[in-house]
Amino acid sequence: MSLDHRLTAEHEELRRTVEEFAHDVIAPKIGDFYERHEFPYEIVREMGRMGLFGLPFPEEYGGMGGDYLALGIALEELARVDSSVAITLEAGVSLGAMPVYRFGTEEQKQRWLPKLCSGEALGAFGLTEPDGGSDAGGTRTTAVLDEATGEWVINGSKCFITNSGTDITELVTVTAVTGRKENGTPRISAIIVPSGTPGFTVAAPYSKVGWNASDTRELSFSDVRVPAANLLGEEGRGYAQFLRILDEGRIAISALSTGLAQGCVDESLKYAKERHAFGKPIGANQAIQFKIADMETRAHMARIGWRDAASRLVAGEPFKKEAAIAKLYSSTVAVDNAREATQIHGGYGFMNEYPVARMWRDSKILEIGEGTSEVQRMLIARELGMDA
């Protein structure tokens, strides 16, 4: 494959469009939403009108006919300004709509994708459980098929689910144990649960350290009944399907992490020119110059990493290892750059009115969500043939 990860004219036009939107529309408003822990519905609607939620999907389902690289470009530019908005897009596309597109029947795609692609509705991905964490294969939520009514009866709970409780959340795809294999291991399936289904309870939003303008909730299912036709993909293949979705999602999270890392460079450059100490801009000091040079280097290498993984995915080549590498490195870089940007800003870096304070708070979850850094190292080692 080509190692040239420079953008095509079409992708560069998308990048500039999203960059302009992020700076002109999101930047002036998002701080207030963040402080109020409020979901920015109007911004999300505008993102929908721009076609961002439909970027990697075919036009026949209401998408833009783009690819995963296009989604990553949009996520990076959004996250340069704010990660709450970026994660809303990332989860809505790669975790909400993508499972339906990858594994759904034609009827399921026609029913759900047009609204998800337009941003009129959001989907969520119900994998993590209170006792599950990284061990998603230890799912305890169950779904039993009631032969008499032709319905799945679901019981259990999920936690840390993004986009699961907004006013425009349309569905949550959940993993549940639907039986046992001959060796006694669970058969895990994926089932679509529409919002508002009786017995499906959405808890109040979490009080979080960061991503305060995004929606994250715990979900519970008490004898929730949905049609048998809501099974997504093959019965017993839900866990394998979601692993594929997570492989792709790591590329998207890597692009988001890169955006946050680059946003820290942007803000630090601006501050270093404006802030004076001892009669000169602090950017005239070599110590500050070296910090920012290192930050830019890290962001640049993270960008190459996620674009490489995305290019492999788009080309239909194996990408699992590259996605794990990109996710591991870019999330580490985001945390490092956020720490340095806060240090460059001094006391002002601890004030919420400055974007770097938001970036500092938002960065840590990137080393945890969609596979911890430890899990990424396990995946990379396994791909190198070191599986136990």
Cα dihedral 345, 40, 93, 143 sign: positive
Residue 365 CA to its chain's centroid (Å): 11
225 three-class SS: strand
Q: Counting Cβ atoms within 10 Å, is residue 80 exposed (0-12), middle (13-18) or buried (19+)?
A: buried
**Residues in CB range of 187: below 8 A, 6 or more apart:** 177, 178, 179, 180, 181, 235, 236
Q: For residues 262 and 77, what is the distance between their CA atoms, to the nearest angstrom?
A: 9
How confident is the model at residue 80, as a pLDDT?
Answer: 98
Domains of the chain: 9-122 (1.10.540.10), 124-235 (2.40.110.10), 240-383 (1.20.140.10)
How confident is the model at residue 224, as a pLDDT?
Answer: 98
How confident is the model at residue 136, as a pLDDT?
Answer: 57
Cβ atoms within 10 Å, residue 209: 11
123 three-class SS: strand
Q: For residues 214 and 198, what is the distance between their CA atoms, to the nearest angstrom?
A: 25
How confident is the model at residue 184, as a pLDDT?
Answer: 80
DSSP state of 237: B
**Crossing angle (nearest 10°) for helices 83-90 and 238-274:** 160
Q: For residues 297 and 291, what is the distance between their CA atoms, to the nearest angstrom?
A: 10
Q: For residues 91 and 165, what is the distance between their CA atoms, to the nearest angstrom?
A: 13
Ramachandran sector of residue 191 (left: φ over 0; alpha: ψ -120 to 50; beta: rest): beta
Give the H or E element holding residue 363. Answer: helix 355-363
Tens digit of each residue's pLDDT (9 = 90 or more) over 253-292: 999 999 999 999 999 999 999 999 889 999 999 999 999 9
Residues 90, 340, 370, 383: which is the catalytic one?
370
Please, are residues 236 and 187 in contact by the beta-carbon 8 Å criterion? yes
Tell me the pairing of strands 276-277 and 200-202.
Answer: unpaired
Tell me the pairing of strands 151-162 and 216-227.
Answer: antiparallel
How confident is the model at residue 219, as a pLDDT?
Answer: 98
Cα dihedral 67, 72, 78, 82 sign: positive
**Residues in CB range of 44: below 8 A, 6 or more apart:** 85, 88, 119, 122, 168
How confident is the model at residue 331, as a pLDDT?
Answer: 98
Give the H or E element holding residue 174. Answer: strand 169-180
How confident is the model at residue 133, as a pLDDT?
Answer: 59
How confident is the model at residue 1, as a pLDDT?
Answer: 47
Q: For residues 164 and 87, what is the distance between their CA atoms, to the nearest angstrom?
A: 13
Tens digit of each residue's pLDDT (9 = 90 or more) over 181-205: 888 889 999 999 999 999 999 999 9
How confident is the model at residue 378, as a pLDDT?
Answer: 95
How confident is the model at residue 137, as a pLDDT?
Answer: 63
Question: One-letter amino acid identity for 243?
Answer: L
Instruction: Per residue of the chain (388 residues), give pLDDT as tens.
Output: 455 678 889 999 999 999 999 999 999 999 999 999 999 999 999 999 999 999 999 999 999 999 999 999 999 999 999 999 999 999 999 999 999 999 999 999 999 999 999 999 999 999 999 876 556 567 899 999 999 999 999 999 999 999 999 999 999 999 999 999 888 889 999 999 999 999 999 999 999 999 999 999 999 999 999 999 999 999 999 989 998 999 999 999 999 999 999 999 999 999 999 999 889 999 999 999 999 999 999 999 999 999 999 999 999 999 999 999 999 999 999 999 999 999 999 999 999 989 999 999 999 999 999 899 999 999 999 999 997 5
Active site residue 370: yes
The b/e string for 240-270 (b: 16+ C-beta within 10 A; e otherwise) is ebbeebbbbbbbbbbbbbbbbbbbbbbbbbe
What angle (nearest 5°) sits at the alpha carbon of residue 351, between those of residues 345 and 355?
Answer: 70
**Residues in CB range of 68: below 8 A, 6 or more apart:** 56, 248, 251, 252, 310, 313, 314
The answer to pTM > 0.85 is yes
**Partners of 200 in the β-ladder:** 221
